[in-house]
Structure 1
């Protein structure tokens, strides 16, 4: 699937992408870590910033879930700097917010009210396998985290390809 990215809100500034999940300790930091690394490898780090947040605030300031961090480390990604953040009005200035599932997409819309649908999307809208949700691995075992990693890697590659075309 080839989805297009919205243009930058402010030409000449870094293109800002935020990934959004519930608590900002599993899916969205995994996605932001992978996407950030792919952006860096593509030589786009000076033009693109990637961050993550959660619609809920109960983990603010905490590091990534150890199972998510371990899954990333095993694949040579470093998420050790991550500290959970909560979605707030400042995030609405991002060029693109990518929610991990429909509930978090609804959370962004609840905060934003009327919002450009091109700027608030599901992360997997860019997945070459097809659109859908990134399932929450929190209550499952290691395979759930591995599945999330596979989804965010292939989707991240597609997002970076779209960024390179901008």
Structure 2
């Protein structure tokens, strides 16, 4: 693998930054630790809305992720347009957040992708928001990640 082609920083973005994107961050951090090139990777997450700034991840997601060996340590923060310049890759968890990210700039950023771009065709286009559902929704999101 060509180390120079790897992103140096990845940010996952969902709506409130308490369910999907912090879980994706935790999964990616764990994967990065296992790869020599990945140890140089900076991973974080943000939300397009500022509903939960400063809060820990949703306890239901923390519990579901914990059962799989992931620790969600991040605190919710809101996506800022400057992240488009400071992150090598920004990964939106669904189409609505993808559009919100693009609305923050007049440019055509090439570093913004959908999470589903990295999944097989058997998965849905959007990572569903489990916030208003039951435990199975959190488990399904983790299955996708």
Q: TM-score, normalised by structure 1?
A: 0.79
Q: Show structure 2 runs of 5+ residues with no match.
A: none
- Residue 136 of structure 1 is matched in structure 2 by 129
TM-superposed deviation, 1:113: 2.4
Q: Deviations over 1:17-72 (max 9, x none)?
A: 10000000000000011011111112334321110000001201000000110011
Greater than 6 Å deviation, 4+ residue runs: none
Structure-1 separation of matches of 2:53 and 2:47: 9
Say yes or no: does 1:86 pair with 2:78.
yes
137-146 or 120-129, which deviates more: 120-129
Structure-1 separation of matches of 2:61 and 2:102: 27
Distance 1:77 1:102, change over 3 A: same
Alignment coverage as a number of residue pairs: 140
- Residue 123 of structure 1 is matched in structure 2 by 115
Q: Show structure 1 runs of 5+ residues with no match.
A: 1-6, 9-13, 153-166
Correspondence for 1:43 among 19, 25, 36: 36
RMSD: 1.8
- Residue 109 of structure 1 is matched in structure 2 by 102
TM-superposed deviation, 1:131: 6.1
